[in-house]
Amino acid sequence: MESLAARTAALLAGLPELGRFLGIGFPALLALAGALFAVRKTPALRFVSDRGDAMLGGLLAAELLAMVFLSSLQILLRNVFDSGLLWIDPLLRHLVLLLAFTGAVAATGVKRHVQINALGRLLRGNAQRVGGTVIAATAATVSLALAHASLVLLRDEIEFSEIVFLNVPSWLVVAVFPVSFLVLAFRFEWLVLAEIAGEAPQSPEAELAGPSEKTS
Amino acid sequence: MTTAIVVFALVAALFGLPLFLVLGLIALALFIGADISGSAVVIEMMRLSSSPLLVALPLFTFAGAILAESGAPRRLVEASRELLGWLPGGLALVALLACALFTAFTGASGVTIVAVGGLLLPALIQGGYPERFTLGLVTTSGSLGLLFPPSLPLLLYAYVAGVGVDELFVAGILPGVLLIVLLAIYGARRGLMAGVERKPFRVRTALSALRRAGWEAPLPMVVLGGIYSGKVTVTEAASLTALYALIVEVVIYRDVRIRDLPRVVRDSMVLVAGILVILAAAFGFTNYLIDAEVPMNILEWMQGAFTSKWTFLLALNVFLLIVGSLMDIFSALIVVVPLIVPIAEGYGVNLVHLGIIFLTNLEIGYSTPPVGLNLFISSFRFERPVLDLYRASLPFLGILLVALVLITYVPDLSLLLGRLLGTGGGTP
């Protein structure tokens, strides 16, 4: 863990300021997304992206089931055995954080973020595509800016890190943020390309009411 | 520069920028504009891991999703139909109760309309209720039950406003019942007018329907009994509910197959994560506004315009109805509550009462044209033009507004039970 911290710190020492970070990060991620988007229909990339989605779903399930069982275990220990495990409660609270950002990453893949979108939903045809592209590019930029802010925080946190629970140092908890925001930025860049290609997913309401045959 | 970014963020919100990024962008702009490092925004986001109460959110959501995926809606509708179908307007009452109970467990995420409404609509029309009435009923009932524990909006309000969850859970009961009673009276009237046939009560079929729902029926009692008796905390009740729902639906009824679980988890967690990241992004935003004394300035201005608590509450209702028709309930709670709380306190409004007013407004906002979410979900689910649903939901909106006025101006509806039970709801 020590060496990982040291290596991360060395990496972060060269962190540029926000403007430069965006100037380099946005086109770099777009190029990466573009290269992958170009080969999106090849079996290899399909395999990778399917596995990626499955892993994300699996991760969410693991986080949630861990919450269910750990909190139930804690109740059992407290009420039946009059004891308890000190690390369960902080772990549960941090799982909320982890779950929130894992879920946000998953939501981007299916375009299921909570949004106001009062005007956007009135757009049709080409206007809808242009609007969708601009919004996705904005989302990618904001995600990158937040990634920068979290990298700054991570740089400071490594210096003054302490143990939060079990043997987990606080900087590792903080690392959830830059990782999530960078992945989010990448997925929004992908969405930019999908919007341009007219392959972006449907609106959330249509998705929600979609499987209408299921219950009837 | 800061102002330009904030305006840009608001416009982008109207065109569909995810709300957590809207708030994140505004927070970044405000902090950096005030010469504070942007990393402070992320430090605020860390608060997501500081409250045990937030652990309850994903757990209750998961329990609700499992129930929605299973045959629980069907068993719930069947059992309540056997028990209440003999009353005048009985089927409408069944619809109201089933929706309310289901929404309390799943939150008004549209699941109620899709899962329960989908069963009720054909049954009500077949039973002889006019189609427009039925559509309106099912649409507006999609958010009925928000005031009953353990609904997520109640939990979230308690967290954001810093009020005891148990107080709020008690406070919602009478107002929630009021909404149902008023709608049930209307339903009975329409049922009698349309000459709807009543289903005779038969002990044998009623018992067998109850037996079929035997594993699910005790769930509300277990949850509420546990919380009200003080035996378990809300978070513990949430984990027990999740575990219980998981075992009952996957192992006992086998309605949900193991291989479907990852999908159910993913869909429900995407939903709850959406709420949580908005909460995370809003910490920085609302904190900045509170530090800049924005609510205090609004309060000062408002005290000039609205001299009494009662005119303030009227203005608040109008404001919240607009918010409720624009934003989903969770975002509205997260963004608006921290700003309203100091203002309401300035007017001497009890925060528990404020919560109930808040949630009633947002519940109505769900079905308010032009953009109330229930209207769109119904439109997709029942394949009707949205305009039909506007018309169909109008009489129901009227009734809900009457209830809102009562809830707003009779604080005891929200506070009386708390005083009687001693949960402290009476302290101003």
Q: Which residues of B touch A96 (CB under 8 A)?
A: 48-49, 54-55, 57-58, 276
Quote the crossing angle between the two packed helices B52-69 and B234-246, to the nearest 10°.
30
In terms of Cβ atoms closer than 10 Å to its own Cβ (0-12, 13-18, 19+), residue B10 is: middle
Instruction: Give me the residues of chain B with pLDDT under 50, please.
Output: 425-428
| Residue pair B130/B91 in contact by the 8 Å Cβ criterion | no
Check: CB of residue B322 under 8 Å from CB of residue A118: no
Question: What pLDDT is stored for residue B109 in this prediction?
Answer: 64
pLDDT at B123: 87
| Arithmetic mean of pLDDT, A55-83 | 90
Which residues of chain B does A112 touch, with a Cβ-Cβ cutoff of 8 Å? Answer: 270-271, 274
- At residue B297, the pLDDT reads 87
Peptide bond into A43 cis (omega under 30): no
A185 in B contact zone (CB under 8 Å):
no
Give pLDDT tens digits for A1-46: 678 888 888 888 889 999 999 999 999 999 999 999 999 899 999 9
pLDDT at position B162 = 92
Q: Give the pLDDT confidence score for residue B375 in this predicted structure.
A: 87
Count interface pairs A-B at CB distance under 8 A.
Answer: 228
CA distance B220 to chain A (A): 18
Side chain identity, residue A69: F
Contacts of A63 in chain B (CB under 8 A): 269
Cβ–Cβ of B381/A149 closer than 8 Å?
A: no
DSSP H or E stretch at residue A169: strand A168-169
Cα A18 to its chain centre, rounded Å, is 20
Residues above pLDDT 90, as percent of chain B: 36
Q: Is-contact B167 B352, C-beta < 8 A? A: yes
pLDDT for A213 beyond 70: no
Task: Please name the residues between 330 and 369 in chain B that touch chain A, using a CB distance below 8 Å.
Answer: 330-331
User: Which pLDDT band holds residue A203 (cuts at 50, 70, 90)?
Assistant: low
- Better pLDDT: A215 or B258: B258
Residue of A nearest to B74 (CA): A215
**Other beta carbons within 10 Å of A83:** 8
Phi, psi dihedral angles at A169 (to 5 degrees): -80, 155
Q: Which helix (H) or strand (E) holds A42?
A: none
Instruction: Report the gap between the CA of A97 and the closest CA in chain B (Å).
Output: 6
Place of tokens 């040291």: A6
Nearest CB neighbour to A152, from listed B39, B49, B376: B39
CB proximity A52 to B under 8 Å: no
pLDDT digits (tens, 9 = 90+) for B166-224: 889 899 999 999 999 999 999 999 988 888 878 788 888 888 888 888 888 788 777 77
Assembly ipTM = 0.90
**Stated pTM of the model:** 0.87
